């Protein structure tokens, strides 16, 4: 794969993540709750990615049972609750707001990495933290007037999506040197499914799956913004610097916001647009060049995407 093709793959993968709202909102209209939609994504994604690996790369399905607690962390503690928070904000507020608050994830990764791994808190990271917090304050309406129409629950859920998303990197770091990213993703969704099959409430919604459209949306949610997006992104990441690839992930919120505005009628004011731009800018700031990172080997690892 050429470098140009790698950039196309990584960008296309990140863009796939931004399409998630199309499938989530369709399942809401069909009668699913956010918690049940998490179950749909977890179960169908596990089936697809395990099936893919079983056919194409069965050796990637081998793990040491001692590492299972870390996969429970990435799957249940991170993926399940990050998705529930994310989908809840989509339902209660808007897709645009949900994706912006999700991108507080790097802020939590930086703070947690400092506490748990004693990693460098560089000037770039401090600036990125400031931009993220300020951008989110503008987006939810706390700035410039310190007033917001959003409930405390919605804001907390939005920040929760970023926090639980960040935990994927924390748990994943312990096993990232021993396993392929595809292995980590596969077992994360397997663990998530082990919880969501009995606890996700899908048994009460079985009649809905008689509708072919519901099956299409469920498979689409698992395939397009999950399995396909991740495979494309990681395929490109193999041939380009991770710092540059992380900048390419900014296409995800851009795509999601465009869909939110054009498809679902999200209305963004001037201050909210400023907040979104500040959050996007924080991603560029935190993406240090490989040369700089190599001089500081203790710097934080890039956040893993589920």
Residues in the chain: 306
pLDDT score, position 48: 95
Residue 186 contacts residue 42 (beta carbons within 8 Å): no
Residue 303 lies in a domain: no
- State the total domains in the chain: 1
pLDDT at 108: 87
User: Above 50 in pLDDT, residue 90?
Assistant: yes
pLDDT digits (tens, 9 = 90+) for 246-285: 677 788 999 999 999 999 999 898 999 999 999 888 877 8
Range of the domain at 87: 3-295
Tokens standing for 93? Answer: 């507020």
Whether 233 contacts 9, CB under 8 Å = yes
Is 305 within the bounds of a domain?
A: no
Is a pLDDT exceeding 90 seen at residue 88?
A: yes
Report the alpha-carbon distance of residue 78 to residue 71 in Å, rounded: 10
d(CA 267, CA 272): 9
What was the pLDDT predicted at 303?
Answer: 39
Q: Looking at residue 287, what is its pLDDT?
A: 66
Q: Among 288, 256, 73, which residue's Cα sits nearest to residue 173?
A: 73
Would residue 144 count as lying in a domain? yes
- Indicate whether 302 belongs to any domain: no
Mean pLDDT of 230-248: 75
Q: How confident is the model at residue 1 (pLDDT cuts 50, 70, 90)?
A: confident
Question: Mean pLDDT throughout 116-122?
Answer: 78
Residue 3 has pLDDT above 90, yes or no: no
The winner for highest mean pLDDT among 35-39, 166-170, 281-285 is: 35-39
Indicate the SS3 state at residue 250: coil
Count of C-beta atoms within a 10 Å radius of residue 271: 16
pLDDT at 202: 93
Q: pLDDT grade, residue 302 (50/70/90)?
A: very low
What does the mean pLDDT of the chain come to? 87
Write the CB contacts of 242 (distance below 8 Å, at least 6 apart in sequence): 290, 302
Span 47-75, pLDDT tens digits: 999 999 999 999 999 999 999 999 999 99
* Percent of the chain scoring above 90 in pLDDT: 55
Q: What is the mean pLDDT of residues 76-90?
A: 96
Residue 266, in any domain of the structure: yes
- Residue range 120-126: mean pLDDT, rounded: 81
pLDDT-based confidence at residue 243 (cuts at 50, 70, 90): low
Question: Does 172 map to a domain?
Answer: yes
Residue 82 lies in a domain: yes
pLDDT for residue 208 is more than 90 = yes
Q: Does 176 map to a domain? A: yes
pLDDT at 242: 61
**Which of residues 151 and 244 earns the better pLDDT score?**
151
């Amino acid at each position: 794969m050429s470098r140009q093709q790698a950039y196309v793959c990584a960008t296309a993968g990140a863009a796939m993540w931004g399409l998630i709202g199309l499938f989530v909102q369709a399942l809401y209209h069909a009668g699913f709750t956010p918690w049940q939609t998490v179950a749909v994504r977890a179960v169908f994604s596990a089936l697809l990615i395990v099936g893919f690996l079983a056919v194409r790369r069965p050796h990637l399905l081998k793990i040491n049972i001692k590492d299972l607690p870390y996969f429970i962390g990435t799957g249940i503690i991170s993926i399940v609750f990050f998705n529930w928070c994310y989908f809840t904000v989509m339902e209660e507020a808007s897709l645009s707001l949900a994706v912006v608050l999700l991108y507080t994830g790097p802020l939590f990764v930086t703070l947690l990495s400092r506490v748990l791994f004693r990693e460098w808190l560089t000037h770039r990271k401090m600036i990125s933290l400031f931009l993220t917090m300020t951008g989110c304050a503008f987006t939810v309406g706390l700035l410039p007037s310190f007033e917001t129409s959003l409930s405390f629950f919605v804001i907390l859920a939005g920040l929760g999506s970023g926090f639980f998303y960040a935990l994927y990197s924390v748990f994943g770091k312990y096993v990232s040197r021993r396993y392929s990213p595809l292995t980590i993703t596969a077992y994360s969704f397997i663990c998530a499914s082990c919880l969501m099959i009995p606890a996700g409430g899908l048994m009460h919604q079985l009649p809905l799956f008689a509708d072919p459209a519901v099956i299409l949306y469920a498979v689409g949610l698992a395939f397009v913004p999950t399995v396909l997006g991740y495979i494309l992104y990681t395929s490109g990441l193999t041939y380009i610097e991770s710092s540059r690839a992380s900048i390419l992930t900014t296409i995800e919120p851009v795509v999601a916001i465009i869909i939110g505005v054009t498809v679902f009628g999200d209305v963004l004011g001037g201050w909210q647009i400023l907040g979104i731009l500040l959050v996007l800018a924080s991603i560029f700031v935190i993406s240090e060049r490989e040369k700089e990172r190599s001089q500081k080997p203790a710097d934080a690892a890039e956040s893993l995407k589920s």
